[in-house]
Structure 1
């Protein structure tokens, strides 16, 4: 056999082996992609899908608890440059305490005078209650110079607890720049076992179709199954979902409603200066415009009065007869009377000092308003099993049926849910 023939056979054999290896690799990648979808290999636009622009992550992904003593924890410290009805030039600290006793604050080596506690309004006499600790700043210290505050009980001999400054709240009347995003959602608690992964897909996809830029969701990763973890990771990689690890250092039975006052306040602070409008709602609740306007157009009309810091939006109770997702397309039996007590809020976060579960408790200026909206422009559709009568609500079905159905099926398929 000539040398040329041997060389050709060698080249042919090498080519066959190389092609086989490539084919095997591609086959394995297809298998792995089903279980662990990589965002860069998924088409960026399909059925109205948006890959959201990544913004710099200014905040860590945890709610930290700094133990002061057996009866007190500090959570989030923040500098507050707003000159309003809560005083001026403060470092404030979100604290959870069992006993209301005075605290000492030390800022950059100087002890604060006239330290005070502000009690949040929805503690409901639980053992562990949520307060904001107000530490006046010495005149010679600037906001940007403060990295942490030192705390302990007044008169205690124990060492001080260092609490890092997590947020820096700007003067809302003199913001240095426009908010980086238009609309965000705070989901205070992802209740364990209450929703499956498909409900998360529906919630995020429908809200993204309505123009929501970012969703902040507080969760305990120890309570999630594989499909839920996979789904949450997919949307985190997609830049629309920001997950915040929230694990109480004490029993959730000791604090009101799973500690939602903690997560709501933390999320309010996260969004101040970041988002123009921030919603507070759960996975089974959707804000729905009542006209042909977009969500952003609706909000701009609701907040046309620049003194409005919050809109408390009435709820329409939608009977959850069909529990198969997407539930928003399978259920439309609403109530003829709107729920005006258990409402949900959309706020201008920099204008609010205290936000509750169902209402805004305090704005930062006396001339700011917290308005109750009657549902003519915007309603909260709350999907829950109940006997409601007797009005069909077709706004979501008429507005988003095809787009939501296509996108929902697409994500469920690629995530193998």
Structure 2
């Protein structure tokens, strides 16, 4: 363990998991270096974590999500995917090829079960506790990569006043008081109404 945590250790050792019923079976585990160099540089200023998405089919909401947060100063995205449609998969691959952001997809499948009965299905017993697990996982993934990490969902939009980005607002707040370990953004419901007659009038003027 001392060698694993040593700052002079350039490469992490190999790690494996074995099952109690099959001790001879060793599955390799990819280790991520979550150590942080004090006052060291970060590759990204802001990162966003989207926790456990399943049955994801609406790719149009993803476009809005990415572009809004990019405008707020986010350049790193972590998406925990359990299941998605082929259209969403193709759309995410387009963003993965982008040069001005870094999109990381984490496979977050259900826990394995050994019986077909619901009483023995661990996925029905965790009661959304896996959300806390994915949050902790994202903290460890991003702590040495980004200066700030945001937890959000695809339908959550951050609106910042005074012509500031979210990153600029947090930096301004931190400059006045650097003792805060986290920030909470108050949430509220927003409703946008589009009147059909006004849309038709605009279309006629455009033609």
Q: What TM-score do the two structures reach when normalised by structure 1?
A: 0.37
**C-alpha contact (below 8 Å) 1:252/1:259 kept by paired residues:** no
Q: 2:13 aligns with which of 144, 147, 171?
A: 147
Query: Which structure carries more strand by proportion?
Result: 1
Cα gap change, 1:210 to 1:151, in 2 (>3 Å): closer
**Aligned with 2:181: secondary structure?**
strand
1:234 positional shift = 0.9
Query: Aligned residue for 1:167?
Result: 33
For residues 166-185 of structure 1, what are the structure 2 equivalents within 5 Å?
166-171=32-37, 174-175=38-39, 177-185=40-48
Q: Deviations over 1:42-66 (max 9, x none)?
A: xxxxxxxxxxxxxxxxxxxxxxxxx
Within 2, Cα distance between the matches of 1:204 and 1:184?
11
Partner residue of 1:203 out of 58, 65, 71: 65
> Which of 183, 187, 197 is matched with 1:311 structurally?
183
- Structure 1 contact 185–216 (Cα < 8 Å) conserved: yes
Task: Give, in angstroms, the shift of residue 164 of structure 1.
Answer: 5.3
Structure 1 residue runs of 5 or longer lacking an equivalent are 1-106, 108-136, 153-157, 320-329, 333-417
Cα–Cα, structure 1 residues 151 and 214, in superposed 2: closer, same or farther, change >3 Å?
closer
Shift, 1:160, TM fit:
11
TM-score by length of 2: 0.71
- For residue 168 of structure 1, report the CA deviation from its aligned partner: 3.2
Specify the SS of the correspondent of 1:265. helix
Q: Among residues 67, 77, 90, which one is paired with 1:230 in the alignment?
A: 90
Aligned residue pairs, count: 176
Question: Post-superposition shift, 1:163?
Answer: 5.4
Taking the TM superposition and a 5 Å limit, the aligned residue runs for 1:241-256 are: 241-250=103-112, 251-256=122-127
**Cα distance 1:227–1:164, how it changes in 2: closer, same or farther (>3 A)?**
closer
- Per the TM alignment, residue 159 of structure 1 is displaced from its structure 2 partner at its CA by 7.5
List 4+ stretches of structure 1 deviating above 4 A: 148-152, 158-164
1:353-368 pair list within 5 angstroms: none
Deviation, 1:215, is: 1.2
> SS at 2:128's partner residue?
helix
Among 215, 223, 229, which residue is 2:77 paired with?
Answer: 215
Q: Which has the higher contact order (CA 8 A, sep 6+)?
A: 2
Q: What runs of 5+ residues in structure 2 fail to find an aligned partner?
A: 113-121, 195-207
Q: 1:267 to 1:331 in 2, by over 3 A?
A: farther
Q: Deviation per CA, 1:40-89, whole angstroms, max 9, x where unpaired?
A: xxxxxxxxxxxxxxxxxxxxxxxxxxxxxxxxxxxxxxxxxxxxxxxxxx
